């Protein structure tokens, strides 16, 4: 079998609304992939993944045979998949050793969720997809599930976790991806702190955050978070997520500091984050606006003389 396993899923749209973009994934053996996304995309993803013959899927809402005991259930799954896994070791791994003769309907919620790992452990397919492995589990069960995922990894399997909770994905995954309407983005989970300490010892301090003041508190914003900055009668406000935060710096100071981050002085009293600009609106020949795609629809004015410069930056 080849070392890398590739998965391609086509884009999916309902009435022009994109539900899920086209996804291409390169998977590696013996690793756990986490995909973080919203419920609609996860639902679509599971449906598509089910058509791959190499993939075994455990859904969040899998049914259960209420009247079987844990041990009988393991025997049943073993029969289905022709497996000779040792019952005791599997019971130990999933911490059912004291509960082996309890009927499934009498198990607690966390224990029922743990049952889903039995088919994953027993079947022979190279890729295991598990939807919401940690959702609403107690601490003990989380640890048990984590242990089981690691032992799946030891068995040379590729595991894909799907969740709409970022924390759950980070808990177990070697590689974390975020799926949004633009595609699959890899998230870097490397620890970068030691590097930063080294830097601050050698050179002058580079402070890139923008300090703002609100209710006697000083809040620091990362430049990419900022939507736009407005100056009204000398008072500078930094807008983040639709809310304004007063800032003590002047627009000129801010412009100097923020230009390397892709900010643009689009008006005498406005600086805009170009990353967040969706549309250039032309009202008349001499009046323009920039529309931002933030949580709320924000419109920032654009001066006529700045338009030429903006066009140069954008490249049109």
CB 274 within 8 A of CB 266: no
- Residues numbered 42 to 101 that lie near other proteins (CB under 8 A) are 50, 56-57, 59, 61-68, 72, 75-76, 78-82
* Total binding residues toward other proteins, as defined by CB under 8 A: 23
Query: Nearest distance from residue 57's CB to other proteins, in Å?
Result: 7
Query: Nearest distance from residue 78's CB to other proteins, in Å?
Result: 7
Rounded-to-integer distance, Cα 55 and Cα 32, Å = 14
Nearest by Cα to 213 from 256, 241, 249: 249
Cβ closest to other proteins, residue 124 vs residue 198: 124
Task: Count Cβ atoms below 10 Å from residue 265 Cβ, excluding itself.
Answer: 20
Rounded-to-integer distance, Cα 24 and Cα 66, Å = 39
- Residues numbered 110 to 139 that lie near other proteins (CB under 8 A) are 119, 123
Cβ closest to other proteins, residue 116 vs residue 142: 116
Residue 221, strand partner residues: 210
Cβ closest to other proteins, residue 62 vs residue 156: 62
Query: Nearest distance from residue 41's CB to other proteins, in Å?
Result: 20
Rounded-to-integer distance, Cα 261 and Cα 275, Å = 9
Rounded-to-integer distance, Cα 282 and Cα 311, Å = 13
Task: Count Cβ atoms below 10 Å from residue 218 Cβ, excluding itself.
Answer: 10
- Residues numbered 209 to 248 that lie near other proteins (CB under 8 A) are none
Query: Nearest distance from residue 62's CB to other proteins, in Å?
Result: 5
Cβ closest to other proteins, residue 79 vs residue 224: 79
Query: Nearest distance from residue 112's CB to other proteins, in Å?
Result: 12
DSSP 224: G
Cβ closest to other proteins, residue 82 vs residue 217: 82
Query: Nearest distance from residue 20's CB to other proteins, in Å?
Result: 21
CB 135 within 8 A of CB 167: no
Cβ closest to other proteins, residue 74 vs residue 292: 74
Continuous segment of H or E residues that includes residue 307: helix 304-314
Say how many residues make up the chain.
316
Residues in contact with other proteins by CB under 8 A are: 50, 56-57, 59, 61-68, 72, 75-76, 78-82, 103, 119, 123
């Amino acid at each position: 079998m080849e070392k890398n396993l590739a998965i391609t899923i086509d884009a999916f749209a309902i009435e022009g609304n994109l539900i899920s973009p086209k996804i291409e994934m390169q998977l590696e053996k013996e690793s756990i992939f986490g995909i973080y996304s919203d419920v609609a995309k996860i639902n679509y993803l599971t449906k598509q993944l089910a058509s791959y013959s190499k993939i075994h899927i455990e859904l969040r809402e899998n049914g259960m045979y209420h009247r079987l005991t844990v041990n009988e259930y393991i025997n049943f799954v073993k029969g289905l998949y022709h497996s000779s896994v040792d019952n005791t070791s599997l019971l130990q791994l999933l911490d059912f050793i004291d509960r082996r003769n309890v009927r499934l309907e009498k198990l607690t919620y966390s224990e029922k969720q743990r049952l889903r790992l039995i088919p994953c452990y027993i079947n022979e397919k190279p890729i295991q997809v598990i939807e919401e492995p940690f959702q609403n589990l107690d601490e003990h069960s989380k640890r048990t599930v984590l242990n089981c995922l690691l032992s799946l990894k030891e068995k040379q399997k590729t595991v894909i976790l799907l969740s709409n909770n970022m924390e759950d994905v980070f808990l177990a995954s070697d590689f974390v991806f975020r799926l949004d309407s633009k595609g699959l983005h890899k998230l870097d989970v490397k620890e970068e702190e030691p590097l930063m300490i080294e830097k601050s010892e050698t050179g002058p301090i580079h402070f890139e955050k923008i300090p703002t003041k609100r209710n006697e508190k000083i809040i620091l914003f990362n430049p990419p978070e900022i939507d736009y900055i407005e100056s009204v009668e000398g008072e500078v406000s930094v807008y983040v997520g639709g809310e304004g935060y007063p800032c003590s710096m002047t627009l000129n100071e801010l412009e100097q500091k923020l230009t390397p981050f892709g900010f643009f002085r689009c008006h005498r009293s406005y600086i805009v984050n170009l990353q967040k600009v969706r549309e250039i609106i032309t009202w008349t020949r001499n009046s323009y606006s920039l529309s931002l795609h933030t949580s709320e629809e924000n419109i920032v004015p654009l001066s006529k003389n700045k338009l030429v410069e903006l066009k140069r930056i954008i490249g049109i």
